[in-house]
Structure 1
Amino acid sequence: MTEAINETVCGAIREALRMIIDPELGRNIVDLGLIYDVSVDDGGIAHVTITTTTKGCPASEYLKEAVRNCVWYVPGVEYAEVRLTYEPAWTPEMMTN
């Protein structure tokens, strides 16, 4: 995958992830700053690193599954791998808009 195509797919993934609303805060997970990293390997394997607002958040599995399902529908993605991390810990300062 060329770098330009990779950037386009990563941008499309981030845009698609705006559809996922955090059930606690009622805002999309991109603007909340819950998406830490998005990359796409050759072959269309997408890697997305996410966090939650608190460690042990009851919505963790819901958010991981929602991200995985959302990313799979982006053109150019053949497989989606979602990793949950708490490093660095999320803070409200990570929010945009």
Structure 2
Amino acid sequence: MENEFLSKEAEVIDALRTIYDPEIPVNIYDLGLIYELDINEDGKVRIVMTLTSPNCPVADSLPEEVHDTVADLPGITSVEVNLTFDPPWDRDMLSDEALLELGLL
């Protein structure tokens, strides 16, 4: 059961890595926009995410894209996406992969 859960989490993370912020050429997971990712054994997913700024031009569409992308995965029964700006996103949230991709490491 533990391996199945870890596999499902990896699938969700891989799916999130296909979604890119339109202003920064890095996927939203490595940008650090995903604050929480909870998956239960019934396939219910809860995601808490942020945007690079409250005035982000995709404030309406990006959470919807996250929802739809994850909801399309096999075994996922429901997806809840919550947007937060606490704490505000900053550059320190970038993964090492993102820093490398942006030439900052």
Shift of 1:40: 1.2
* Residue of structure 2 equivalent to 1:15: 14
Aligned-residue Cα RMSD (Å) equals 1.4
* Residue of structure 2 equivalent to 1:45: 44
Q: Secondary structure at the match of 1:31?
A: helix
- CA deviations 1:37-94 (Å, max 9, x no partner) are 1111232111111100012322112110110011012222111110101111110111
8 Å Cα contact 1:9-1:74 kept in structure 2: no
Between 15-24 and 54-63, report the one with greater CA deviation.
Answer: 54-63
Percent identity between matched residues is 35
Report 1:75-86 matches (<5 A).
Answer: 75-86=74-85
Runs of 4 or more above 4 Å deviation: none
Q: Secondary structure at the match of 2:82?
A: strand
* Amino acid paired to 1:50: M
* Amino acid paired to 2:86: E
Q: Distance in 1 between the 2:19 and 2:75 partners?
A: 20
TM-score if structure 2 supplies the norm length? 0.82
| Bigger radius of gyration | 2
Q: Distance in 1 between the 2:74 and 2:5 partners?
A: 11
8 Å Cα contact 1:17-1:29 kept in structure 2: yes
Q: Secondary structure at the match of 1:22?
A: coil
Q: How many pairs align?
A: 96
Show structure 1 runs of 5+ residues with no match: none
8 Å Cα contact 1:53-1:91 kept in structure 2: yes
TM-score if structure 1 supplies the norm length? 0.88
